[in-house]
Amino acid sequence: MEVVILPHAQDLARLAADAVVRLLRRQPQAVLGLATGSSPLGVYRELIRRHRAGEVTFARSRAFLLDEYVGLPADHPQRYRRVIADEFEDHVDFPVGAVQSPDGLADDIAAACAAYEGAISGAGGIDLQLLGIGTDGHIAFNEPGSSLSSRTRVKTLTRQTREDNARFFGSVDEVPRHVLTQGLGTIAAARHVVLLAAGEAKADAVRRMVEGPVSASCPASVLQFHPHATVLLDAAAAADLALAGYFRETFAAKPDWQEL
């Protein structure tokens, strides 16, 4: 796990965008994993800016979303498929149909989850997965207690996650209870994972992810097993890390030729 601590959230977005742009230049058909939530929004804004500047194209790439609410109508503004279109996809040049998400409106949820896993492996797996982290340590919608080797399936949100996400809805009662989410095993199979966290509300979850034991109680801690996980933190999110000084020194001394 490479932990990078930078003063401001916009610095994190720039570094993550650099990683995406470098990947697409080297491998135009790369498969991206997209996350919703506020954490990756700066990355999408930066990628849109670089796309408009002619620095990057998504014309040969594909993308898979991490998760989706069950039962939100197709035109609901908080449906993750809609959010990613509004925040990113519609502003760049993905081919039609190149961005996929789990089908939260499927009649047969189990079949939809299996089909989603099949689509990801059919595309050759995910090359770079963007991630945020929930205040309870979840990644995608893998809540505490999730199997560390789980695949795409239905999950029930915790009260805490529904309260955290109530800001996007009218009230907590409007936040769906059920979601479809890539599993921790699905996420762990991505070749490079880039997680962004900013703000003091994330500090405890970040400490448990980076320095706590690997445990289903903190689903993000599974990334300690990942051979190529990059954790980008602002100073507030890194505030509880015992190794913060070491992580800062390591990044300051990182050779120019070495990518994330």
Q: What size, in residues, is the chain?
A: 260
Would residue 127 show up in a list of annotated catalytic residues for this protein? no
Residues of 105-139 as b/e, b for ≥16 C-beta within 10 angstroms? ebeebeebbebbbeebeebeebbbbbbbbbbbbbb
Alpha-carbon torsion 188, 175, 170, 68, what sign?
A: positive
Determine if 42 is a binding residue for ligand GLP (CB under 6 A): no
Kindly tell me which of 44 and 141 has the beta carbon lying closer to ligand GLP: 141
Cα gap 70→188, rounded to integer Å: 23
Q: Would you count residue 150 as binding ligand GLP (CB under 6 A)? A: no
Q: Contacting ligand GLP (CB under 6 A), which of 42, 104, 132, 183?
A: 132
How far are the Cα atoms of 103, 119, 124, 218 from residue 147, in angstroms, in the given order?
21, 22, 24, 11
User: Would you call 164 a catalytic residue per the annotation?
Assistant: no
Q: Which amino acid is at 158?
A: T
When binding is defined by CB under 6 A, the residue of 3, 36, 151, 208 that contacts ligand GLP is: 36
- Residue 138 catalytic? yes
- CB 57 to ligand GLP: min, Å: 26
- Of 67, 103, 117, 127, catalytic: 67
Binding status of residue 210 toward ligand GLP by CB under 6 A: no
- 161 binds ligand GLP, rule: CB under 6 A: yes
Residue 36 or 221 with smaller CB distance to ligand GLP: 36
| Residue 67 annotated among the catalytic residues of the structure | yes
Q: How far is the CB of 190 from ligand GLP (least distance, A)?
A: 14
Q: List helix spans (H) across the chain.
A: 9-26, 41-52, 80-87, 109-122, 159-165, 184-188, 203-211, 244-252
Question: Least distance in Å: CB of 252 to ligand GLP?
Answer: 27
- Report the alpha-carbon distance of residue 204 to residue 218 in Å, rounded: 11
219 binding ligand GLP? (CB under 6 A): no
> Of these, 133, 209, 231, 232, which contacts ligand GLP (CB under 6 A)?
133
**What are the catalytic residues?**
67, 136, 138, 143
Residues that bind ligand GLP in the complex, under the rule CB under 6 A: 35-39, 66-67, 132-134, 140-141, 161, 165
